[in-house]
Every structure is written in C-alpha cells, then in structure tokens.
A and B are shown apart, each in its own frame.
Chain A
Amino acid sequence: MLEAVYRFLYLIIYSVFLFHEIVCEKWSDLRKYLSDLNQNITGPAMEQFVFQGLDKTPNHISFIIDETPSYKDLANLVIWCMITRISFVSFYDKKGFLKKGVEKLEYEVNERKLPSDHVFWHNQDMDDFKNGFSGRKVHVKILTEKESKKSLEILCKKLIAEETSTSEITTEFIDDSLRELYGFPDPDVGVIFSKIFSLSDYPPWQIRLTELYRLNSHYNITFNDFVNVLTKYSKCDQRWGT
C-alpha cells in the first residue's frame, strides 16, 4: 500500500521535473530563434564576429555524435572551424555511420569551402600532406572504435610482440605511442550532440582535460550555437591540478 503511494508521488515529482526541463528547453530554443533573427551572420562577417572577444580558441575540437549524421550540418561545422582557425576537427561516431559516409561529408565540405581553403582528410592515405599551403586549412578525422579502448589493446599487443620491458613503460611513453595511433593532439573541446550527457565510449586516454559541452542535436546547428560553445571555452580556466 505504502509503496503504491510512493510510486504515485514519484510520478508526480518526475512529471513536474520533466515539465520544468521541457519548458526550460523550449524557452532557450525561443531565445535562440529570436537572436538568430537579429543576427543573421553570413560569409565575411563571420570572421569578424569570431575574432572579437575570444581570448583563446581550441586547437582541436571533437564532435561526438549519436544520431544519424546530417552531412550538410557537419560540413558547416568544418567550415566554421576553419574560419575560427581551429586546426583539428574530429568526429566520433560510435555506430560507424560517418566512416561509411565520409565521401558525402567531403562532398558537402567541398561545396562550401573557398578554392584557397585546404581540408586535409586523415581517414585516407595521404601523400600530398605537406606544409606550405597558403590560405586557411583544417585537418579532419573520423574517429571510430579503433581509436577508442581498442587502441590501448592494440598498443599492448604491439608492446608484447616487441618484448618491451615493463620498466620502459611510463605514462609519457604510452601517451606518445597512443598519439601516434590517434594521429591528433588531445581534444581541447568535446561537443556531445545527444539528449544524454554521455561519452559513448569516446577514446578514454585523450579525454583527460577536454572541456565537455552538450547540445541536443547537430541538426540545423547555427553559427551562433557554435560561437556560444567557443565563448564558453574561451572563458574556462584550466588549473592543471594546482
């Protein structure tokens, strides 16, 4: 009997909580909609807009996706990263849709970039991968399970095969070896596109100091949303344990 009462009261509390959450969400959607109406930023204005008031920008930004990818929106993200001089962009998609659709992403990006822009795709074998390009450039990589927990397993097997002595193994040693496998510097910013704040098995070693933000979805993401994330990052202060 008492249990039924508790369950009933729980239903009420949970509904109120849910209602509150939804109202908050709708409210912020509305505010976003209104501010997007006021500031319809396009083309060259974007560059100007971004360089006002950002103290620091990330070197590597990683997007974590747990929905079917919208290549158009992801391509926009790549272009905006290039505009804000973010050198490394990675997409992590646990289900592996993106890995298969990388050509579609490439196509969408090529549709949007300027002829002088250089986009380096790290998922293909690259032989023309040199410095000395003029114009804006960005490195793009799709991360998969191989770069996640499996990478530590792969490294372990390699070390065993090479008969590496345990005395050689230090945190720095593993860090260097994994970076070789991972190919990118550790991400400074991680944006999770999901209703749930969860890392979906993102590569654990690399996520140590990543500033994590969550947005509901990457569908129809606007330049404003993107700038909001960068603004938050630019205000954060890393203390490195001290």
Chain B
Amino acid sequence: MSWILDNSLNKFQQLVVNIMKSGPIPNHVGIIMDGNRRYAKKINAEKVVGHSRGFDKLSESLEWCKELGIKEVTVYAFSIENFKRTQKEVEELMNLATEKFEKLLDEEDKLMSEGICVRVIGDLTLLRKDLQQLIAKAVLLTKDNCKSFLNIAFAYTSREEMTSAVKSVLHGASHNHISLDDVTDALLAQCLYTYSNPDLLIRTSGEVRLSDFLLYQVSQSIIYFTDVLWPEFSFWNFVMCILRYQRSYFYLKNNKDTSISTYSNNMRIELFLSDLRQRRLDTLQKYATAEI
C-alpha cells in the first residue's frame, strides 16, 4: 500500500467531512498508533502482519487528515524502548520501515506535487546505515515543502529529545552563541526535534499513558484515549475524536482565553537556532551521501 492515497472516502463520508469542517479543526494531530501486535494476535497472524496493517491504517488516516484540512500529523512509529523487543521482531520492523521508506522515495512526484514535508524525529544514530540513508534522502527531498507536514517519530523517545535539546543549549552557551539570559523554556522548546505542539493527541488500544511521546509538546493538547486497536481504527472513530476535540475546544473557548504562544527571539537566539538546524541538515546530508 502506498503512502499517499487518492481519495478513498465514499460519498457519504465525504459529506460528513464537509460538515465537520464547519466546526474547529485541529491544526496538528499527534497519534500513538498502538495495538498492532494485539490485532495480529486477534486474527491469528504473525506480528509483522499487524505492523503492516498498522502502516496501511496510517496511510488511510493521513488521507482523512488531508480531507479534513489537518495540516500536520506526528505519529509514533518506533520508540527507542522498542529495541528491547525480540531480535526477530526488531529486524522485521526495520525491514518493514526500509521497504516503506523506499516506497516513499518512489512516490517523489506525489510528495512534491502535494507539498508534503516529511520529517523523521528521533535518534537516527541507532538505526542501520541503509535505513539512515533512506530517511535522510526522504527528509532532504521534502524539506522545503510546506503545504502539510508528516513527522514520523522513529527511534524516538521524548526524554532523549529533551536531553538532546539540553545538550544543544549547553553547546551554544559554551561557545558563547547564546547568553545565560537567553536560556528559557521557550528556547528549549525550539531546540526539540519538533516544536509545533499538537492540538489533539490520540492514543489507540486502551492504554492511558504517553509512553515517552512528545511529553514537552502535548502539555496543553487535548488528549483522547480510545480502546480501538490501531489497525481497526475507522473513519468513524476518527470523526468521534474530532467531535470530542471540538467539544473541548468550545469549552476552553468559553472558559479561558486560548492564547496562542508565538516565540519572540532576539537575533542571537535566531542565529543560534538556524545554526542548530543547519547542523542537523548537515548530518542528514552526511547520511544521504554515505557509502554503504
């Protein structure tokens, strides 16, 4: 199954999408896609089948997001903790990821014409060289697209992300790029791999914790836990999520001011941040051109 689907909604679903768009739509949705293995067990299949179905569901839900006008999606694909799984499963997952990122690169035309920017957040040094290269190529290829954003958390934990942000700030301070007064929680937020905060966070399969996903970024998000297993997550489940979001949105709007925080940085910080981002791109460039 490909990453970018052509409209898969039927007429009735399309009508519902149009109706839902009359209400507030989140700009950015985070998803913890949980329940692939339980699904595999349920249908008596190998774990890898569950993961593969999970991927298909991802393409489908990206399509729903696009139709609804959701600009940014961040998904939890693979946690650093997941490396603790059996060697066989980790290997299968890495092979699946390799296959999917190859596929993504094959879909270059679609990615570019739809203006999709793909970012992979996580500690890429933990990955196989060939996977590093594929990821780097995909990210670099789409880095200037800005119509919609897909962030894939891969070899990711939020604590590792926060640690890396602290390191970046320390590095900047020790090289006198920033002063002590520049060090604020806002600066740290901007040093994270992704610094756009989801409006809505969805976790499937009945678990009610964040499991080290975007801890810093979801601190004001509306959280929605559902019992459905990820591969079984349907269009109608998604509509329910959006309705819940809308209810919370109206409630928040009535009760407190929802001030959108924008960062106001001085020149020094701007320079430091653009330097940090450039260094990250350089690392990707190195991966992309490495000989394997």
Binds A, one of B56-64, B65-73, B210-218: B210-218
Residue interface mask A180-221, B partner, CB < 8 A = 1: 000000000000000111111110110111111100000000
- Within the complex, the shortest CB–CB distance from A152 to chain B, in Å, comes to 6
Q: Whole-angstrom distance between the alpha carbons of A238 and B5 in the complex? A: 35
- Min CB distance, A230 to chain B, in Å? 14
Cα A196 to Cα B223 with chains together (Å): 8
Instruction: Say which one of A77-85, A136-144, A159-167 lies at the interface with B.
Output: A159-167
Give the residue name and chain of the B residue nearest to A241 (CB).
B81
Looking across the interface, which residue of chain A has its beta carbon closest to that of B85? A242
Residue of A nearest to B212 (CB): A208
Smallest Cβ distance from B125 to chain A, in angstroms?
A: 14
A153 touches B252 (CB 8 A): no
Q: Which residues of B contact A133 (CB under 8 A)?
A: none
Whether A242 and B223, one on each chain, are in contact in the complex, defined by CB atoms closer than 8 angstroms, is no
Total A-B Cβ pairs within 8 A: 149
**A90 CB to nearest B CB, Å:** 16
Beta-carbon nearest neighbor of A197 in chain B? B223
In the complex, whether B158 has a CB less than 8 A from a CB of chain A is: yes
**CB of A51 within 8 Å of the partner chain:** no
B244 to chain A minimum Cβ distance, whole angstroms, is 8
On whether A6 and B18 interact (CB within 8 A), knowing A149-B185, A202-B219, the answer reads: yes
A32 in the interface, Cβ–Cβ < 8 Å? no
Given A201-B219, A240-B84, check contact A10 B20 (CB 8 Å): yes
- Which residues of A, 93-112, contact B by the 8 Å Cβ criterion? none
Q: Given known contacts A6-B18, A241-B83, what 9 new A-B pairs fall within 8 Å (CB)?
A: A153-B183, A153-B188, A164-B170, A174-B163, A175-B159, A204-B162, A209-B209, A212-B208, A241-B82
Q: Which residues of A approach B to under 8 Å, CB–CB?
A: 3, 6-7, 9-10, 13-14, 17-18, 21, 148-150, 152-153, 155-157, 159-161, 163-164, 166, 169-171, 174-175, 195-202, 204-205, 207-213, 236, 238, 240-242
Residues of B participating in the A interface, judged by any CB pair closer than 8 Å: 16, 18-23, 79-85, 157-160, 162-163, 166-167, 169-171, 173-174, 180, 183-185, 188-189, 207-212, 215-216, 218-225, 243, 246-248, 251-252
